[in-house]
Amino acid sequence: MSIALVKELRDRTGLGMMECKKALKVADNDVEKAIEELRKSSGMKAAKKAGRTAADGVVAVRNAEDASYGLVLEVNSETDFAARDENFLGFVDSVLEAAYDGRQTDVAALMDGELEQSREALVQKIGENIGVRRAAALSAEDGVVGSYVHSNKRIAVLVQLRGGDADLAKDVAMHVAAVNPQVVAPEDIPAEVVDKEKEIFTAQAQDSGKPAEIIEKMIGGRIKKFLAENSLLEQAFVKDPELTVGKLVAAAGAEVIAFVRYEVGEGIEKEEVDFAAEVAAQLNG
């Protein structure tokens, strides 16, 4: 078997040497037939890998030059190693470009076509499940959209301001990335969440043995603190703790309208893998 043929097949498919050698043997050294064989077998592998949990990966952002629009998305892999692979990152760029150009945040619609074929080919090539998990966009007619992506590409934020400029929006986005507020303003926290916290604080305060009027004040103080800690406008700005984000933005004659914060893998329940059992299963299978 020619080494040149194996190299050609590897270059064209990106698959491993042993797989390429086996495929060439089955195809009597016909590269085109070997590619067909690999597509069949690798397609089966891609289908099997689709059931595995992809909870690692990266987030990515693209902003309009005039700061009128921004889009953020998350693409998952199974491991951090795969998330640093240049082929994976190239795929992320392709998805981001398509989503941004088409202003598309519906992942199913976005992946209907060539991008899905690219995803399947990438699964075959790097040997891990890959998935485009989610996308979101913000636009501003009378303000700006700013963004921030942490250097490890695991946290990305979009912020929409009414008024202000791109630098201010980026500063607020950096704060959101670092502190992770749940809502823009205290009144945005759902009533059921506040009620649940009040229930917890009440039980804690009643155990203190203090008079009812003191307990009421304690509960009120804790609820106020809870609302402030989870609301962007009430939080101390990371770059200047003497200033709240609300005062920072107001001083610039601006207003925070919305933000989107994506962190890789948040909310995904990771599988606990028994590697010994996995290896045994592969040997037996």
Q: How much is the pLDDT for 281?
A: 56
Mean pLDDT of the chain: 87
Residues 195 and 185 placed together within one structural domain of the fold: no
Percentage of the chain modeled with pLDDT above 70: 87
Report pTM: 0.75
Residue 270 lies in a domain: no
Residues 149 and 207 placed together within one structural domain of the fold: no
Q: What gap in Å lies between CA 87 and CA 152, rounded to an integer?
A: 17
Residues 175 and 102 placed together within one structural domain of the fold: yes
Domain count, the chain: 3
Residue 269 lies in a domain: no
Residues 92-150 have pLDDT tens digits of 999 999 999 999 999 999 998 899 999 989 988 888 889 999 999 999 989 999 999 99
Residues 40 and 64 placed together within one structural domain of the fold: no
Q: How much is the pLDDT for 271?
A: 58
Residue 118 lies in a domain: yes
Residues 199 and 122 placed together within one structural domain of the fold: no
pLDDT band of residue 77 (cuts 50, 70, 90) is very high
Give the number of other CB atoms < 10 A from CB of residue 285: 5
Residues 159 and 110 placed together within one structural domain of the fold: yes
Q: What gap in Å lies between CA 149 and CA 127, rounded to an integer?
A: 27
Residues 179 and 141 placed together within one structural domain of the fold: yes
Q: How much is the pLDDT for 41?
A: 64
Residues 221-241 have pLDDT tens digits of 888 999 999 999 999 999 999
Identify the domain containing residue 17 by its residue range. 3-49
Whose CA is closest to 170, among 159, 178, 162?
159
